[in-house]
Amino acid sequence: MNSKINWHTTFLEIFEELNHIVKNMYLKNEGKIILGDVVGRNIKDDQFLKIDEVCQNHIIDSLKNIGKPIKIYSEHGEFSTNQSKDEESPYIIALDPFDGTSLYKNNIPGEWWSVLTIFKSNSYKPIAAAAFDFIREEFYFSDNEIFSYYNINTKKVIPNKIKRKVDLNSGIVIATYTMTTGYSILWSKNTKNLINSLHQLKNPPLIWPNGGSCIYPWLERGIIDAYLMFDEPRTEIDPGLGFTTKKDFTTLEFNKNKEISIYSFNPENRHEKINCYIASNNYKLAEQIIQLI
């Protein structure tokens, strides 16, 4: 049994194999069969597709080769690998096996991802995260010390020096998921004051209309400055939390009275939703946005 797991190498190999699987399925127009509903989700917003199952099974089966017991909380189920009666799992993985099922089902080749975070089981603290962008064929990895991403064909690490933007008038990008009618209604209902205020700026933000677990690698990369959501499922947050461990990064819950608390991973509550939520690579920026809502 390995004494220490090289998470970077492990998931790079897993995602390289999975990339070929997903691309072949798309070329054959496979993976769009609806297998069921997603626990805690409206069927208008998300469903369990064959592509989800294929990605989920490949990742879980590959993790069996590690040798250590791992508890896996997927968006579509709860699993264990190498589990024995006498040994508890030192690791928990929160997994979104395929983020972008609605796009995939509608033949839109954009934002297909697998995203996951590894937590210590005794503290629920994230220790690393990995993600794969199937469209751009880019692998992302982050732990408490490093962040790297690169194209899997070249293996050339792309330098990334994030320039955190500290105010709303600095050309920031705010992401939110509005591609389904339900989330569009929530966004318009809750952000009227915010949008009016932002529109008055000389350099107003760009609103990127996609989100979920795939947004967190871009938050750490600095492409996205903040991710604002209402009624956000925990299963869309938890797989990305390993990309928010660096200094100044923040994940916050808040209410209508602008009372703020730090969001934290708790697998027992994984099927719940967060009424008001924001993630950002800059706490001050997140706070400014909340105050305008």
* Digit-coded pLDDT (tens) for 274-293: 999 999 999 999 999 999 99
Distance CA 253, CA 239 (A): 17
Regarding beta strands 70-74 and 77-81, do their DSSP bridges make them parallel or antiparallel, or are they unpaired? antiparallel
- What pLDDT, on a 0 to 100 scale, did the predictor assign at position 134? 98
Please check the confidence at residue 216 and state whether its pLDDT lies above 90.
yes
**For residue range 241-277, what is the model confidence (pLDDT) as tens digits?**
999 999 899 999 999 899 999 999 999 999 999 999 9
The position carrying tokens 């997994």 is 95
* Same CATH fold assignment for domains 7-151 and 173-292: no
Contact 15, 151 (CB under 8 A): no
DSSP one-letter code for 66: G
Architecture in CATH for domain 173-292: 3-Layer(aba) Sandwich (3.40)
Stated as kind and residue range, the H or E segment containing 29 is: none
pLDDT band for position 130 (cuts 50, 70, 90): very high
Distance CA 25, CA 186 (A): 34
Stated as kind and residue range, the H or E segment containing 22 is: helix 7-27
- Mean pLDDT, the chain, rounded, equals 91
Tell me the domain boundaries of the chain. 7-151, 173-292
**The token pair that represents 39 in the structure block:** 């626990």
pTM as predicted: 0.93
Quickly name the fold that domain 7-151 has.
Fructose-1,6-Bisphosphatase; Chain A, domain 1 (3.30.540)
Q: Tell me, what amino acid is at 256?
A: K
pLDDT band for position 1 (cuts 50, 70, 90): very low
DSSP one-letter code for 41: S
